[in-house]
Structure 1
């Protein structure tokens, strides 16, 4: 399922966090309310290490909007001189790279997306890290 999810992301006409989150929600449509509630409980209020495709999708659905709002609010305070010159992103505890992909979305609005020269993703969950790498690659493919 995870490979299929990344294929769907890479085929998006408009790749952005909101559309990725919508796809994640669609990935869970086949589950009953009971199964979704059980997944939500396994998130442990957002601090659990995520180790399945379904948990990654549930996390995006459950906490994605909150993270996006906080990130976009913070990004508007970035010094303009910082994002208008080449820079590197280091996303520590990246999970599925929500911070990085929301930054990419923000940089699109400032025409600074091509200033990102390197992305380093650090995450203890191998499943989440693989998803993060794949999502960042989808963005990189779009902007190369």
Structure 2
């Protein structure tokens, strides 16, 4: 949530809806724990023998690109142009946070050792700014600015 809030800046009340959506997307990843456990039990979901599918970090760019392509095919690129970026930042920040304890799982390549706390802090702090700059380079910032009727700074 907070990473997306930094990306868009909170300029008006409707921005809170996007921020809540970003928080939902960051949390929905953990549904795969319950799917793999085949139970709604929190104990079962937290004591899995292996990591669930959505915790594979290489899934993020694949899902983001598929979403971007789907949006292009259905001509949703203006009104929802932010969604692939929101998904990217929500899922990436979730993976980085999980990486402190478990490392990053880069299937099929394997996994890293747990991330040092200093790397977590630097990455989490810089991710919204990197994302914002990438949105500027791809033109998403300009589309969002015209959609919102305000200039969104990088």
Q: TM-score, normalised by structure 1?
A: 0.30
Tell me which protein shows more strand as a share of its residues.
1
Largest Rg, 1 or 2: 2
